[in-house]
Amino acid sequence: MPADRFYITTAIDYPNSVPHMGHAYEKVVADFYARAARLRGIETHFLIGLDEHGQKIQEAADKAGHPPQEFVDEKAEVFRRLYGQLNISFDDFIRTSEPRHHEFARELYERVSKRGDIYKDHYEGDYCISCEKFLTATELVDGKCPIHERPTTVVKEESYFFRLSKYRDQVRAHIESHPEFIYPEERRREILSRLNDDVRDLSISRSTFDWGIPLPDDPEHVLYVWFDALANYYSALVRPKDITSRFWPADCHVIGKDILWFHTMIWPAMLLSAGYELPRQVMVHGFILDKDGRKMAKHVGNVVDPVEVMDEYTVDVLRYYFIRSFSSGKDGKFSVSDLEERYNSELGNDLGNLILRVAKLVQTKLGGRVRIGGEQREFSERLNPEAMIEAYWKAVDAREHNRALEELWEYVRATNAYLNDRAPWRIKDEGELAEVLGAGVAALRIVAHLLSPVMPTVAAEIAASLGVPLESVETMSVEMECEVSASKPLFPRREDEKRVSAGKGKAKQPQADVDPFSKLEIKVGKIEAVENHPDADQLFVLKVDLGEEESRTICAGLRAHLQPADLVDRKVIVLANLKPAVLRGVPSAGMVLASDRNDGAVVPADPGDAPIGETITVEGIESNPKKKLSKSNFEKAPLSMKGGVVVYRDKPLRTSAGEIRCDANDGASVR
């Protein structure tokens, strides 16, 4: 890994259907490495996106009755929403229908053409529409595509070809001389073995459909999806040019094993022909399997909805399970019972109980304050983390994320064992007690930092409870006095071990007659008091009257946009059944709904003269609110602005006093 910059990408998803567990897994793995690089102070650029051209997109759009661009625009929002729910920290989201991508893809084609590496001919062969590729007879299984298990179509058409065969030996030599280029070694050997056979030239255009990028010299043809799609890794960097020079070549392409050939033979050959540097590494992950070892697929009926799992266990728990349970480069079996077991034993018992007892002991024995860092002999001698930290980063650099987390968890267990051995609850000497509990807090500070690429929200909550900064590796050892606050159980014990039916090999199907809006409980409230959040510059802490016995405390991100005087005695609308949370140490029970104005301000929605406590409705939807609504449940019922009115699916939100209004942009989301 370069000392100062890191460019990581994922495969761009094909939005002809809804995102699934495999999409979620790949993005979380890449996000781990992006966050780990940032934690080390490395300037990082993280790219994800969508591959929006090709025959199967056009067919899906036709089936849906929409123009292709409108179809992919709608799908893009679905994918973006999932990656927001997964807390993916991407820096750019590339879509191949964007002008910036079209511009570079044509430039790439022209560079390759000028090299003499493109020619026109006819092609006939077995074509898999789902893969967007021709298959050889040896690749077919009973006349079907081995990945999608569907019959291929015999296609004969005029096409432009890329002289892929010309670059076989050069690509093979690169792979042989750069053993780190393909990870894991198993996939490297697979490609080298395949390169011992003849390599056919690649068809790179189609003329039987028009949803794609027209060739500059023959607009009757559009670029074949792989020659188009692979260019995204570079096209996302072409504007501004200083980004290209800073981040290319890519340090790591994270992909699934089913697209290995495209990324380790076709993409390098394209770059060699065009005169660009090759990426430094292609990291290949396995498939997500069900508990019986079958690849998850709709036609099998074993697909698990990642949003459903997040609703039950939180996004951080799902992220932890991906990184902890699935060996890097290997297929992984997704099992709800295994996730449940790790939740209770590793997260609840190992980590959760450690945080609770350290925080409680510091509060009860030391008045909530303890000094860490500097000359802390007890910590350095009994809980010295240097070996663990070195092993953690060694595993990260080797692309073995599961091993990195295993090293961290051994340290969590060692810290628990240390506290059991030292028994601080029996120590009478205050100096000795401060040393022992300080060692526990110092250990947890390191755990929070190294856990942050996996569980960013949980890590931030741990750091807030300990009163320590969570910024970079440098802050893991700085000398400071910590003010330790009460820590709520981060992983409360779950008694019902079968809340998600997907672990039984059958997908949980949502009820068709339940509208997502019906699960929301949005009420009219009145702000009684406003204070600045003590530990978050963007947040106000509000006291809001919702017509209940007691007013609620709600944290709201309005501090950069409004003054307290603008909010006191103001009526607002509140998502009242949102799961309670603790934001930087302050409990929050609800969410004040607001939207964006043209000048960049965020303004709350206005219920007018509606009475306090009234429930807000939408015509034709019967209210049946969920008791504790997750953020992802709320996002399934997206609210937006239309003509100054808050709407859901173009229907206005109403009270007895009329429509809910807001001085915000048309089309802006209300959240």
Chain-centre distance for alpha carbon 554: 27
226 burial (CB, 10 Å; 0-12 / 13-18 / 19+) is: buried
What pLDDT is attached to residue 512?
39
Give the residues across from 50 on adjacent strands: 13, 95
Give the whole-angstrom CA distance, residue 572 versus residue 552.
Answer: 13
Average pLDDT over residues 372-386: 87
Q: CA 373, CA 91: separation in Å to the nearest integer?
A: 34
Evaluate whether 612 touches 622 at the Cβ level (below 8 Å): no
For residues 70 and 27, is the Cβ–Cβ distance under 8 A? no
User: Lowest mean pLDDT: which of 121-135, 369-383, 464-478, 497-511?
Assistant: 497-511
Q: What is the dihedral sign for C-alpha 138, 141, 143, 146?
A: negative
- pLDDT greater than 50 at residue 507: no
More confident residue, 186 or 125: 186
Whether 482 is catalytic is no
Please confirm, yes or no, whether 66 is among the known catalytic residues.
Answer: no
Higher pLDDT, 142 or 351: 351
What's the start-to-end Cα distance of the chain, in Å? 39
Give one DSSP letter per residue of 484-538, joined into a string: ------SS-----TTS-GGGGTSPPPPPTT--GGGG--EEEEEEEEEEE-TT-TT
Percentage of residues of the chain with pLDDT beyond 70 = 94
CA dist., res. 410 & res. 225, Å (int): 46
* Model confidence at 360: pLDDT above 50: yes
Of residues 645 and 515, the one with the higher pLDDT is 645
DSSP state of 30: H
Say whether the peptide bond before residue 184 is cis (omega within 30 degrees of 0): yes
pTM: 0.72
Q: DSSP states of 186-245 as a string?
A: HHHHHHHHHTTS----EE-EESS--SS-EETTEEEEEE-HHHHHTTHHHHTTSSSHHHHH
Beta strands at 645-648 and 639-642: parallel, antiparallel or unpaired = antiparallel
Query: Rounded distance, CA 61 to CA 187, Å?
Result: 35
Supply the pLDDT for residue 513.
Answer: 52
Q: Which one of the listed residues 120, 122, 298, 642 is annotated catalytic?
A: 298
Confidence grade of residue 630 (pLDDT, cut at 50, 70, 90): confident
Q: Are 350 and 358 in contact (CB under 8 A)?
A: no
Nearest to 515 by CA among 659, 667, 625, 655: 625
Tokens of 337: 């019972």
Separation CA 464–CA 483 (nearest Å): 9
Q: pLDDT band at residue 506, thresholds of 50, 70 and 90?
A: very low
Residue 267: φ, ψ to 5° = -65, -50
Active site residue 295: yes
425 close to 358: Cβ distance less than 8 angstroms: no
Q: Specify whether 23 is catalytic.
A: yes
Catalytic residue (one of 133, 145, 401, 482)? 145
128 noted as active-site residue: yes
Q: Tell me if residue 298 is catalytic.
A: yes
> Are residues 540 and 555 in contact, defined by beta-carbon separation less than 8 angstroms?
yes
The answer to whether residues 538 and 560 touch, using CB atoms and an 8 Å cutoff, is yes
Among candidate residues 45, 128, 523, 631, the one labeled active-site is 128
- Catalytic choice (45, 75, 101, 131): 131
> Is 636 part of the annotated catalytic residue set?
no
Q: From the CB of residue 479, how many other CB atoms can be counted at a distance below 10 Å? A: 10
Among the listed residues 35, 21, 18, the one whose alpha carbon sits nearest the alpha carbon of residue 91: 35
Task: Give the amino acid at 199.
Answer: V
Residues 6+ apart with CB under 8 A from 235: 94, 100, 101, 103, 104, 105
Residue 283 has pLDDT above 90, yes or no: yes
Pick the catalytic residue: 148, 333, 506, 636? 148
Q: Is 555 a catalytic residue?
A: no
pLDDT attached to residue 134: 67
Lowest mean pLDDT among 19-23, 271-275, 534-538: 534-538
pLDDT tens digits, residue range 240-262?
777 888 899 999 999 999 999 99
pLDDT at 571 over 90: yes
Q: Between these two residues, 582 and 173, which has the higher pLDDT value?
A: 173
Of the listed 66, 166, 295, 579, which one is catalytic? 295
Paired sense of beta strands 5-10 and 252-256, if any: parallel
**What pLDDT score was predicted for residue 12?**
96
What tens digit of pLDDT does each residue of 24-79 get?
Answer: 999 999 999 999 999 999 999 999 999 999 888 898 899 889 999 999 999 999 99
Q: What angle do CA 668, 669, 671 make, to 5 degrees?
A: 140
Tell me the H-state helices in 230-327: 232-235, 241-247, 260-261, 267-274, 306-313, 315-325
Tokens 């028994």 -> residue: 423
pLDDT band at 509 (very low <50, low <70, confident <90, very high): very low
CA dist., res. 486 & res. 484, Å (int): 7
168 confidence band (pLDDT: 50, 70, 90): very high
529 and 636 in contact (C-beta within 8 Å)?
A: no
Mean pLDDT value across the chain = 90
What integer is the mean pLDDT of 498-507?
41
Q: What percent of the chain has pLDDT over 90?
A: 67
Please report the beta strands in 364-455, taking only residues with DSSP state E, as ranges in sequence order: 369-372
CB 48 within 8 A of CB 96: no
Concatenated DSSP letters for 157-186? EEEEEE-GGGGHHHHHHHHHH-TTSEESHH
CB atoms within 10 A of CB 28: 25
CB 383 within 8 A of CB 445: no
Separation CA 428–CA 365 (nearest Å): 10
Q: Which residue has the higher pLDDT, 292 or 447?
A: 447
For residues 560 and 328, the model is more confident at: 328
Instruction: Map out the domains of the chain with their CATH numbers.
Output: 5-285 (3.40.50.620), 333-483 (1.10.730.10), 516-670 (2.40.50.140)
Closest CA to 350 of 210, 451, 263, 434: 451
Q: What is the predicted pLDDT for the residue at 298?
A: 63
Check residue 620 and give its pLDDT: 81
Counting Cα atoms < 13 Å in the Cβ hemisphere of 169 gives 1
Residue with tokens 């509990």: 437
Q: Flag the least confident range among 211-225, 412-426, 485-499, 606-620.
A: 485-499
Average pLDDT over residues 472-486: 90
pLDDT digits (tens, 9 = 90+) for 576-627: 999 998 888 899 999 999 998 877 788 999 999 998 989 999 988 888 888 8
Q: Which of 161, 130, 166, 134 is nearest to 227 (CA)?
A: 161
| The length of the chain, given as a count of residues | 671
Would you say 165 and 235 are in contact if contact means Cβ atoms under 8 Å apart? no
